[in-house]
Chains A and B, each alone.
Chain A
Amino acid sequence: MRILVAEDDALSRTLLERTLQRAGYAVISVENGAQAIAELVKEDAPRLALLDWIMPEVDGVEVCRELRRRKEQAYTYLILLSSRESKEDIVAGLESGADDYLTKPFNVDELKARLRTGLRILELEDHLVEARESMRFQATHDLLTSLWNRGVIVELMTHEIMRSRRERSCTSVMMCDIDHFKAVNDQYGHATGDDVLREVARRLHNSVRSYDMVGRYGGEEFLVALNKCNPGSAISRAENLRNKIAGRPIQTANKPVSVTISIGLALSTEFTECTIEEIMHHADMALYAAKAAGRNCVRVARPSGIGTPTAEQPKETQVLTP
């Protein structure tokens, strides 16, 4: 474990360094409070610090205040070293954000015991942060596929469409649904069905850019939002997603399973007057049209007129008006 020692008196500093090294700590020593702050705000800073109370310019109490003011980093356990013994000083020290204090000259066993207390607190903090992060992940992600869950993907997409309207760019909304998924479950069982969902999720996720968004919308339905999408290439990108699924069978624990997806596509630039819910409804209608057209195809929602497939558009793609 690494520990920072801030002490202006060379003799005390040397004594502390040696004592801590003997106790198994890797010691970083500095001579004043300003250097202590510089060390403790580094990305890979030590999480334990022994700070002399009285140091020139920036004293130990100031170091505590400054570090507690910056809340963005991991918790640092701060022990003030002081030869002062009055209660008022101790209270002032602890109120500045110190976790503990030791009076000098220090008793070695007491120093070690108090550092062990610090380590326990840091360990506890690490566990709490880990648990919080895990809960945050669980609250925002779908447990089976690890994609964004429905609530989050809709929220993220909403923000993205609002942004694209401000920036006059286009967000492409795709409702993707695995074709005949019930048959997969019926034929191979739910465990295989889960394998298929996981793999479809993985392929979708790996087929978009890092700033695009993929979420699980429902049972076998996925919502993909492509940010700053060129409207002219939206169809080919939807086709690309479709091909990623249809292109090769999915290796499940049982056996390879071939599945396809149908995609309903809506471009935010085509529905500038619509609410988010309405855009999603249009994408959903396009998905129904894709299903009705025989599945494993893309259908595009347009606000007016029924589009017909052009030469550039694959035959699976048709443009429709909901």
Chain B
Amino acid sequence: MKMWKHGRSLADEPARQPKWALKELIDRLDGDREFLRELLVIFRQDLRVNLQKSHEAIRKSDYEQLSRAAHTMKGMLRNLSMDVAGETAAALETASRESRGSDSKELLESLEKELEEILPEVEAQLAGVRS
């Protein structure tokens, strides 16, 4: 179970960071796909809740609530090796902590776009593991 592959040379780095390093995640979970499914079920549910909270916080300009929701999403995304979206969530956390309203709004939109690309894969994994 490894989070980072040590000793990998720069030449091996992909030109573009993958949206979801699924293989790395599965390695980290010792190939336990049932556990992966368990985590993805939690992810799907908690992500929805935190996105709702984020929208609500933007509407109310409640940057504290927004930074808390972004913080939670950042943790979930990084834990699931969804690093690109994880970085966007981190930027959203920082922007909201600094009460930067328009930046926060833009970052939340970017985050949702990135998630749109990942969520079908998440659903596919959930369906695949079930069958």
- Give me the interface of A with B, judged by CB distance under 8 Å: 8-12, 14-15, 18-19, 22, 54, 56, 83, 104-109
- A296 nearest CB across to chain B (Å): 77
- A112 nearest CB across to chain B (Å): 9
B76–A12 contact, CB under 8 A?
yes
User: In the complex, what distance in Å separates the CA atom of A104 from the CA atom of B86?
Assistant: 12
B39–A14 contact, CB under 8 A?
yes
B42–A11 contact, CB under 8 A?
yes
A18–B35 contact, CB under 8 A?
yes
User: In the complex, what distance in Å separates the CA atom of A11 from the CA atom of B90?
Assistant: 17
Return the contact of A107 from the options B3, B38, B46 (Cβ within 8 A): B3
| 24 residue pairs A–B, Cβ–Cβ below 8 Å | A8-B72, A9-B76, A10-B42, A11-B79, A12-B75, A12-B76, A12-B79, A14-B38, A14-B39, A15-B39, A15-B79, A18-B35, A19-B1, A22-B30, A83-B78, A104-B75, A104-B79, A105-B78, A105-B79, A107-B3, A107-B4, A108-B2, A108-B3, A108-B28
- B15 nearest CB across to chain A (Å): 23
B46–A11 contact, CB under 8 A?
yes
User: In the complex, what distance in Å separates the CA atom of A22 from the CA atom of B28?
Assistant: 12
Q: Chain A residues near B42: list those with CB within 8 A.
A: 10-11, 14
A105–B46 contact, CB under 8 A?
no
User: In the complex, what distance in Å separates the CA atom of A10 from the CA atom of B30?
Assistant: 20
Q: Chain B residues near A14: list those with CB within 8 A.
A: 38-39, 42
Return the contact of A83 from the options B38, B39, B74 (Cβ within 8 A): B74
Interface residue? B85 (CB, 8 A): no
User: In the complex, what distance in Å separates the CA atom of A54 from the CA atom of B97?
Assistant: 14
Q: Chain A residues near B43: list those with CB within 8 A.
A: 11
Q: Chain A residues near B79: list those with CB within 8 A.
A: 11-12, 15, 104-105
User: In the complex, what distance in Å separates the CA atom of A12 from the CA atom of B43?
Assistant: 10
A22-B30, A108-B3 known; A11+B80 contact, CB < 8 A: yes
Q: Chain B residues near A8: list those with CB within 8 A.
A: 72
* Contact residues on B (Cβ < 8 Å of other chain), bracket: 20 to 34
Interface residue? B71 (CB, 8 A): yes
A11–B2 contact, CB under 8 A?
no
Q: Chain A residues near B3: list those with CB within 8 A.
A: 105-108
Mark interface residues in B8-51 (1 if CB within 8 Å of A CB, else 0).
00000000000000000000101000010011001100100000
User: In the complex, what distance in Å separates the CA atom of A83 from the CA atom of B74?
Assistant: 9
Q: Chain B residues near A22: list those with CB within 8 A.
A: 30
User: In the complex, what distance in Å separates the CA atom of A8 from the CA atom of B39?
Assistant: 15
Q: Chain A residues near B1: list those with CB within 8 A.
A: 19, 108-109
- B57 nearest CB across to chain A (Å): 15
Given contacts A11-B43, A18-B35, 19 further A-B contacts (CB under 8 A): A9-B46, A9-B76, A10-B42, A11-B39, A11-B46, A14-B38, A19-B1, A54-B68, A54-B71, A56-B68, A83-B71, A83-B74, A83-B78, A104-B79, A105-B78, A105-B79, A108-B1, A108-B3, A108-B28
- B115 nearest CB across to chain A (Å): 15
CB-nearest residue of chain A relative to B28? Answer: A108
- A79 nearest CB across to chain B (Å): 16
Sorted from nearest, which 10 A-B pairs have the closest CB atoms?
A: A107-B3, A108-B1, A105-B78, A11-B42, A105-B79, A11-B76, A10-B42, A9-B75, A9-B72, A12-B75
